[in-house]
Copies of this chain bind each other. A is one copy, B any other.
C-alpha cells in the first residue's frame, strides 16, 4: 500500500469531506477556467477554416466573433436565471431530466458524457499546441506530450479535490493578466497607428487564397468559433459551492467570467485583423497558434512571451481538469438513476468516484491517440455536445418556470426561451456545417449511448424486482445440506474435504469417478482410512459412490450425478465440496489441473438455486 499512498495520498475519511464555500476571487479560477481558456482555441478554430481565403479571410473573424459574443450575452442572461432556479446547482442532466422527462435527460446525459471527454482531450491538446508554438522542435512529439499531461492530471486528481483548488489560482490569473495586457497594449498601438500597427515579430505570411467566400464557409467558421463558448455552464452547475449570499456570489462570478471572455474574444478578433494574423495549418511544420503570433506581434519574443505561453499551456491543461471533476459526478448521478453500472456510485479512497475517472482517462487517451493529439480535428465533435447540453438545460429551465408559475415567471420563461432557441439554432447550424467533418460520429454515439443506458436500467430494474422481498426470513426446512465430495486418492486434501463435509452435515456422499479403472483400490482405501474409523466412533458413515466413466470424462459424470441427486431431493440444499490446491506462485498454476474451477463453472451454468459449490482451499 505504501507506493499507492505515496502516489495517491493517504485515504480520506468520509468525515473529512467539507463543503467548499468560495467567493468570486477563487470562484473565477475554479468555475471560469474552462470558459476563459476556450478563448485560446475558439478563435483559432474559426481562423483555421478561413485559411483557404488567404490574407483577405482574416477580416471575417471580426463579425463572426461579435455574433458569438451576442450569443454569449443571451446565454449569460439565461444562465443567471438558472442560478436562481437551481441554487443547489443545476447541471444539464438534472435540469433536463427533472423538467423535460426521461428522454431529454438521457439526451443531456449522453451529450455531456461525450462533451466532458472531448473537453479533456481538447484542453490537453490545445495546451500542447501552445507549447509547440513556443518550441517548434517539439512538434513531432505532440501526442507524447498530450498523453504525459493526461497522466499528470490523472495523478493530481487521484489525490482528490482537496489538493487541486490552489493549483488553479495562479495560472488562471496569469492567463487573464497576459491576455488583458496583450489586448490593451495591442489596442493602444493599433489606435496610435490608425489601425495599422507594426508587429514587433511579424506573423507568418498567409498562403494565397484557394477558395471563395461563401455563406456555407461562414457557417462552418461560426460553428468552429462557437467552441469558445464551452464551459460557461460551470458556475450554474456548481452554485452550491459559493458562500452566502450564494446566488449573488455565483451571479457576480458568472458576470466577471462572461465579461472577461467577451473582452478576450473581441480583442483577439480585432487585433488579428489589425496585425493581419491568420491561422497556420496545425499539421504542418510551420505551425504557430494564434495567441502565440499575437503575443509575439504585440510584445515581442521576450520573457513576457514565454511566461504568457506558459500560462496558456497551464490554463488549457487545467481546463481539462473540469472534466475530471464533472465527469465522475455526472456518471454518479446517472448511475444513481440506474442508467449506468453501479460501480460509478462507489466513492474511492480519496473521496472521489474513481471509476468515473478511470473511464474518463481511458476514453480521453483513446481519443488523443486516434486523432494524433491535434485539437482541430476534435473540435467539430466538441461543439455539438456542448450546445445540445446548453439547449436542453435552458429548455428545461423554461419548463421549470412554467411549472412554478407566479409573478415574473413569464418574463423568466422568455429570457430562457430566447437562450434555448439561440443555442438550439446554433446547434442545428453546427450539426449541419460539421456533419461530414465528424459531427456524424456524435450523431451516432448519442443514440447508442441512450440505448445502452436504457438497457442498463432495464437490467437493474429487473434484478431489483427479482430479489426484492418485503417479509421476514423464512424459517421452514432448515435441514442440513446434502454434501457431495469428489474423491480421488487419499491425501491430506481429501481428508480436509471429508472432515469439513462431516462438520457441515451428517449426509455426506463421497463420489469417485472411475476414469482410470482403479475402483478396487479406491474402495479398499476408503474402507481402511474412512469407513472403518468412522464406524468405530458410531458416527454416520459417509457413503462412497462410484461413477463409471467409459469416456474418461471426470467432470461430466460428476455434474450429471449432482444434478440427479438434486432432482431426487427437491427439499434439500446440495453442497458440493471441491478441494482446491492454492499454489504459492502464479506460474505454478499450469502444473495443477483446474478441475475445481471448471466444475464450479459447469455447476454455475447448469446448476440452480439449490446447488452450492464450496471450495476447500489447500495452501501449499
Residues of A within 8 A of B (CB): 11-15, 341-343, 346-349, 456, 459-460, 462-463, 466-469, 471-475, 478-481, 490-493, 495-496, 498-500, 502-505, 517, 528-530, 532-534, 537, 539, 550-553, 573, 575, 581-582, 588, 590-593, 600, 604, 607-609, 611-620
Q: How far is the CA of A613 from the CA of B13 in the complex (A)?
A: 29
Are B615 and A532 within 8 A (Cβ)?
A: no
With a CB–CB cut-off of 8 A, which chain B residues contact A573?
500, 503
Q: A456-B591, A473-B534, A616-B612 are in contact. Are A12 and B551 (CB under 8 A)?
A: yes
Other-chain contact of A15, B480, B504, B550, B593 (Cβ < 8 Å)? B550
Q: How far is the CA of A462 from the CA of B582 in the complex (A)?
A: 14
Q: How far is the CA of A618 from the CA of B590 in the complex (A)?
A: 30
Q: How far is the CA of A617 from the CA of B616 in the complex (A)?
A: 17
Are A495 and B473 within 8 A (Cβ)?
A: yes
Q: How far is the CA of A25 from the CA of B478 in the complex (A)?
A: 71
For the complex of A and B, list the 4 residue pairs with the smallest distance between their C-beta atoms, beginning with the closest.
Answer: A13-B550, A11-B551, A467-B491, A472-B533
Residue ID in chain B nearest A605 by CB atoms = B582
A473-B498, A611-B617 known, 14 other contacts, Cβ within 8 Å: A349-B553, A460-B591, A463-B620, A467-B618, A469-B490, A469-B491, A473-B529, A475-B533, A475-B539, A481-B500, A481-B504, A575-B614, A609-B618, A613-B615
Are A478 and B463 within 8 A (Cβ)?
A: no
Q: How far is the CA of A550 from the CA of B537 in the complex (A)?
A: 50
With a CB–CB cut-off of 8 A, which chain B residues contact A500?
481, 573, 612
With a CB–CB cut-off of 8 A, which chain B residues contact A13?
550-551
Q: A460-B591, A612-B614 are in contact. Are A528 and B472 (CB under 8 A)?
A: yes
Closest Cβ–Cβ distance, residue A601 to chain B (whole Å): 11
With a CB–CB cut-off of 8 A, which chain B residues contact A456?
591
Q: How far is the CA of A525 from the CA of B504 in the complex (A)?
A: 28
Are A591 and B341 within 8 A (Cβ)?
A: yes
Residue ID in chain B nearest A496 by CB atoms = B609
Are B495 and A468 within 8 A (Cβ)?
A: no
Residue ID in chain B nearest A351 by CB atoms = B552
Residue ID in chain B nearest A537 by CB atoms = B475
Closest Cβ–Cβ distance, residue A86 to chain B (whole Å): 26
Are B468 and A492 within 8 A (Cβ)?
A: yes
Q: Which of A14, A460, A472, A493 has the most CB of B within 10 A?
A: A472
Q: How far is the CA of A615 from the CA of B600 in the complex (A)?
A: 10
Residue ID in chain B nearest A462 by CB atoms = B620
Are A530 and B473 within 8 A (Cβ)?
A: yes
